[in-house]
Chains A and B, each alone.
Chain A
Amino acid sequence: MNNTNRAVNRTILLILGLVLVVVGGGIIAGAVWPAAADTWTSVGSGAQDWAKQAWDATVIAGTSLTWLALGALAALALLVVLLIVLIVRSIHGRRRTSLRATGAESDLGRITVTEGFASDALKNALAEHDEILSARVTANDIKHQPVLHVSVTPRQNTSPLHVAETVERLIGNLGTLTGQQLTAYISIHTGLRARLAHDQRRLS
């Protein structure tokens, strides 16, 4: 779970896709349909003439440079920088929020539970369950609300419901202990670890 802006991702894909569809469709239309080819050629040569005139008209005296070329280069550079910023931002969105404190008032005073404590407590509790191979607990900020993300990999053939109820019970216990129920998101995974580990629970 991260805060990558997905609407931006999809919008960019959509814009690029539509541009490519229009360009590709235009090329095909120009090849198979004479009227489209005529339009293509007249618009194209018009633009070519305009570019040539603009190129000649904007030559900087004494050099071979033109303002048109410099303007085009500046626009390209600006676009490239914008796109790089976009990529960096989307990678940034993957960063998880660090520990955040949640406070609760009780008769004894204010109790503050850091997510680090919650994470350690849950991990230790889960370690005692043999059917759970590995657990990872992180805290995220979603809509300005801390959400605990418990990610567990159970042994293969373990009922996901059973795992979910176990984790939920532990989170509930932690909430009772600290006086504040945490909002939690539980994800149950399969993976190489689960496939390699022994299926059945060991008898103890």
Chain B
Amino acid sequence: MSSPVLRRVVRRETHSPRTVAMIVAVVLVILALVYVGTEIVLNLAGQPALLLGPAAAFGWVVGLPTEVPVGVSIAIGAVIAVLGVILVVLAIAPGRLSKHQLVVGESAVVADNGVIASAIAQRVSAESGLPRDQVRVGVGHRSADVTLTPAVGVPVDEAQIRSTVDAELDSYRLASKLRTSVRVERPREQEENA
């Protein structure tokens, strides 16, 4: 998997295209522009304005720092600025999707995190002898979290589980290394009864 074409495919498949965000933002801008246009046309035709005529709207904007209460204009400014920050973050953040690249042979391979998680859970269950529904695995961009909820009195060797998970992860040849964390959950009341 070294050709630039496949690198491009993997890059595009593991990162959000931001198309939805762009379309939502642009549609809102279009609606705002159409509204402004409508007000101008109504004003030219001598009809009453929908909300504010162009001249009145202009005057309101100019008077924003002086004629509108400070609290209100700060609130308006804050809402607009926060929306802007959200858009800037969307534009700059990598937008990684919950997928991982596997390095296998000539092709480019990408697997959903859920696929990796369920395969690890299956392996842990098989190796440790715990029933499959007592093993929960979550896979993120940088880590794999294994949570075990064994029945009362069943011993669990955390170190061994960890090495099982690490071995399984290594065998997938993921392009980015995952950190493993293992947690054993034993319900308190069960412990007390035991």
Q: Is B41 an interface residue (CB 8 A)?
A: yes
In the complex, B187 has a CB within 8 A of chain A: no
B61 and chain A: residue at smallest CB distance = A44
Interface string of B67-96 (1 = CB under 8 A from A): 000100110111111111111111110000
Q: Which residues of A contact B18 (CB under 8 A)?
A: 6, 9-10, 13
- Indicate if the CB atoms of A14 and B30 lie closer than 8 Å: no
Distance from B45 Cβ to chain A, minimum over Cβ atoms (Å): 8
Closest to B122 in A: A157
Known contacts A23-B80, A24-B84: A185-B40 contact under CB 8 Å: no
Q: How far is the CA of A80 from the CA of B90 in the complex (A)?
A: 23
**Chain A residue at smallest Cβ distance from B43:** A69
A122 to B6, CA, bound (A): 20
Instruction: Give the number of chain B interface residues (Cβ < 8 Å).
Output: 84
**Complex-state Cα separation, A73 to B76, whole angstroms:** 27
Shortest beta-carbon distance from B122 to chain A in Å? 4
Helix, strand, loop or mixed for chain A's interface?
helix
Q: With A24-B84, A32-B74, A80-B33 known to touch, is A186 a contact of B119 (CB < 8 Å)?
A: no
B44 surroundings in chain A (CB, below 8 A): 64-66, 69
On whether the beta carbons of A12 and B22 are closer than 8 Å, the reply is: yes
Q: Which residues of B contact A16 (CB under 8 A)?
A: 25, 29, 84, 87
Question: Does A145 touch B at the CB level, under 8 Å?
Answer: yes
- Chain B 55-71 near chain A by CB (<8 Å), digits 1 or 0: 10011011111100010
List residues of chain A with CB within 8 A of the CB of B65: 27, 30-31, 36-37, 40-41
**A188 on the B face (CB < 8 A):** yes
CA distance A81 to B5 in the complex (A): 34
Contact A147 B5 (CB under 8 A): yes
Over the window 69-97 of chain A, the binary record of Cβ atoms lying under 8 Å from chain B Cβ atoms (1 yes, 0 no) is 10011001101100110110010011000
Other A-B pairs beyond A23-B81, A40-B64, A185-B6, 9, CB < 8 Å: A6-B17, A16-B25, A20-B81, A83-B30, A149-B9, A160-B172, A167-B107, A171-B107, A199-B122
Q: What are the nearest 10 A-B pairs in CB distance?
A: A24-B81, A20-B84, A17-B87, A27-B77, A44-B62, A24-B80, A30-B65, A190-B114, A21-B84, A157-B122
